[in-house]
């Protein structure tokens, strides 16, 4: 069936399917629309222009510009979390079977700390930044101010449905923006929480929440925003980017990909296994920076598997299904998708499933080939393929033949090997001897490269993401005679002076490095002498 441009597919809230049908190749997408657990029906166009118009009016009023207002809103975010921790935990448990402690560590504390950091740093972040100047601008005042972009659209994801709304929102607030917030409908309980509680704690005129599925998202993307922040997969990111391109709207895309792990010989495999299992199996593997697959020399594969099995039992008992610390797959469609990925692979650890609970146990696959099904797309679930390789050089070659990952993990005691991974590969981030933890350090930018994302955030990087660096140059109207060399009529003499003053040269070593300063001093001394002589001549004429 060919769809008309004036209609959209709408998908039941229990599904994670998101497709913008209007602006894409219909034949391509109709052949690839998911059919399981998705209810399709035609729905008239929605219009959110008034919502965006109201946000624009609020931004135009100037109320978001003051640091006092921004601080008050950031404190509102903190209160939102701290006063409703139990409610949030219940929502996350309902959506993902997420343990209260895991929710606190991976979502709530991270957001509170980011908001506190923004409050403490706001004055320094918003302070005009002085810039260095050459000889031509010595008498001028040059600096950069951080200007809010305006009205931001924040589209969250279902796997960390609180964190992935509030963290970018903190950056938008700190930078002085208004925002339209669209939570993921897949994590229903968390989306309802965002919709109900955001208006209770934040300025209702400056922050609005719209819940819904593909129809709402598509209609929202028809509006013009000053920036769009999207967290999700690369397929939908292309849709978001295409919609943004219609208005030349800048985008920040936080995506994912197959984040690889390389484990070297002569490492402590017991420690490696614990850190690997924690990063991979928290949130049942539904983490954008989770280790996606492991590469290691074949001679350590068996021992690594044994250590991983021991770590899984230590973390989640011999039957992870009974553990309160282990999550569930978000819905049946993703359960089925992950289940299919392991077909044709050899299960070394786990492999148990329960479709009624969307439960898949922590599962390790051994002797995986690059052509296997599980190696074609991001897993986003609790399957851990192990791909035997000859050495780290082969691992690097494999990484470089694939899309650039969001994260890359290297376990080794050899600093030369870890340095080689840094130098010869490209990824959103690289972590040596651990997994996932870089996402909790706000002084590091969090973001991808290429297929794994565009732009970065966390800490000051979130503030920067929602700000425009506006350059300001202030000049005096006095001493305009100094500018004569740039005014017509042009002469060879003027050209010589211009080249001498403006042309940069490589830095000189030793005493020669001070020559430009001496030369500039001589020039200004001469200028002031001329000005002084001129003033003396004027005084003499007055006396006569």
The separation between CA 289 and the C-alpha centre of its own chain, rounded to angstroms, equals 11
As beta bridge partners, residue 454 has: 253
Q: CA angle at residue 399 from 394 to 405, to 5 degrees?
A: 160
As beta bridge partners, residue 141 has: 474
- Coil vs helix vs strand at 299: helix
Residue 111 designated active-site: no
| 214 touches 18 (CB < 8 A) | yes
From 278, 318, 221, 321, select the one nearest 440 (Cα to Cα).
Answer: 278
Give dist(CA 426, CA 415) in Å, integer.
18
Helix 85-96 to helix 188-201 angle (10° resolution) is 160
Length of the chain: 544
Q: How many CB atoms lie within 10 A of CB 231?
A: 28
Buried/exposed 438-473: b ≥16 CB within 10 Å, e otherwise: bbeebeebbbbbbbbbbbbbbbbbbbbbbbbeeeee
From 425, 434, 444, 390, select the one nearest 291 (Cα to Cα).
Answer: 434
The separation between CA 284 and the C-alpha centre of its own chain, rounded to angstroms, equals 22
From 175, 173, 177, 69, select the one nearest 126 (Cα to Cα).
Answer: 175
What would the two tokens of residue 285 be? 């593997």
What would the two tokens of residue 538 be? 């004027």
Choose, from 185, 288, 296, 378, the residue flagged as catalytic.
288
**Tokens 């590091």 identify what position?**
444
Q: How many CB atoms lie within 10 A of CB 50?
A: 8
What would the two tokens of residue 523 be? 């020039």
Stated as kind and residue range, the H or E segment containing 124 is helix 109-126
Q: What is the 3-state secondary structure (H, E, C) of 161-219?
A: CCHHHHHHHHHHHHCCCEEEEECCCCCHHHHHHHHHHHHHHCCCCCEEECCCCHHHHHH
Show the DSSP H helices in 317-433 as ranges.
332-341, 392-400, 415-424
DSSP state, 108?
Answer: I
Give dist(CA 260, CA 378) in Å, integer.
11
Stated as kind and residue range, the H or E segment containing 151 is strand 151-155
Residue 254 designated active-site: yes
Buried/exposed 477-499: b ≥16 CB within 10 Å, e otherwise: eeeeeeeebeeeeeeeeeeeeee
| 143 touches 171 (CB < 8 A) | no
Give dist(CA 476, CA 483) in Å, integer.
12
Stated as kind and residue range, the H or E segment containing 152 is strand 151-155
Choose, from 185, 254, 353, 378, the residue flagged as catalytic.
254
* Residues taking part in catalysis: 254, 288
């Amino acid at each position: 069936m060919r769809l008309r441009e004036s209609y959209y597919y709408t998908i039941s809230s229990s599904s994670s399917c998101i497709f913008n049908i209007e602006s894409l190749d219909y034949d391509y997408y109709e052949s690839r629309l998911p059919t399981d657990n998705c209810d399709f029906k035609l729905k008239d166009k929605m219009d959110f222009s008034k919502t965006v118009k109201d946000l624009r009016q609020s931004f135009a009023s100037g109320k978001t510009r003051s640091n006092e207002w921004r601080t008050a809103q950031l404190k509102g975010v903190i209160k939102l979390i701290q006063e409703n921790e139990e409610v949030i935990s219940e929502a996350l448990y309902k959506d993902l079977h997420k343990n209260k402690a895991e929710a606190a560590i991976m979502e709530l504390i991270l957001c509170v700390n980011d908001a506190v950091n923004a409050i403490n740093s706001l004055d320094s972040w918003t302070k005009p930044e002085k810039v260095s100047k050459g000889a031509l601008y010595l008498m001028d005042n040059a600096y950069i101010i951080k200007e809010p972009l305006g009205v931001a659209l924040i589209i969250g994801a279902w796997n960390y449905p609180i964190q992935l709304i509030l963290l970018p929102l903190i950056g938008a607030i700190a930078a002085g923006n208004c925002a339209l917030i669209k939570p993921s409908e897949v994590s229903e309980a968390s989306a309802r929480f965002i919709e109900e509680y955001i208006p209770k704690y934040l300025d209702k005129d400056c922050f609005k929440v719209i819940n819904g599925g593909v129809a709402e998202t598509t209609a929202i993307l028809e509006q013009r925003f000053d920036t769009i922040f999207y967290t999700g997969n690369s397929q939908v990111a292309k849709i978001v980017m295409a919609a943004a391109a219609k208005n030349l709207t800048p985008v920040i895309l936080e995506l994912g990909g197959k984040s690889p792990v390389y484990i070297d010989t002569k490492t402590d495999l017991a420690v490696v296994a614990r850190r690997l299992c924690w990063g991979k199996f928290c949130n049942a593997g539904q983490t954008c920076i989770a280790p996606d697959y492991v590469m290691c020399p074949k001679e350590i594969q068996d021992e690594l598997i044994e250590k991983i099995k021991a770590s899984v039992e230590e973390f989640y008992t011999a039957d992870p299904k009974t553990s309160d610390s282990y999550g569930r797959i978000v819905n049946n469609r993703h359960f089925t998708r992950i289940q299919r990925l392991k077909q044709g692979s050899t299960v070394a650890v786990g492999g148990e499933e329960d479709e009624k609970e969307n439960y898949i146990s922590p599962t390790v696959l051994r002797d995986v080939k690059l052509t296997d099904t599980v190696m074609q797309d991001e897993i986003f679930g609790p399957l851990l393929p192990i791909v035997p390789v000859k050495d780290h050089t082969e691992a690097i070659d494999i990484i470089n033949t694939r899309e650039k990952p969001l994260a890359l993990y290297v376990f080794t005691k050899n600093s030369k090997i870890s340095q080689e991974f840094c130098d010869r590969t490209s990824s959103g981030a690289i972590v040596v001897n651990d997994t996932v933890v870089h996402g909790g350090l706000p002084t590091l930018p969090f973001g991808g490269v290429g297929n794994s994302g565009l732009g970065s955030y966390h800490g000051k990087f979130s503030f920067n993401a929602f700000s425009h660096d506006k350059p300001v140059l202030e000049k005096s109207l006095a001493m305009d005679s100094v500018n004569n060399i740039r005014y017509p009529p042009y002469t060879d003499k003027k050209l010589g002076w211009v080249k001498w003053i403006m042309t940069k040269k490589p830095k000189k070593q030793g005493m020669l490095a001070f020559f430009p300063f001496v030369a500039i001093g001589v020039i200004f001394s001469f200028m002031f002498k001329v000005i002084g002589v001129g003033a003396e001549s004027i005084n003499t004429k007055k006396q006569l």
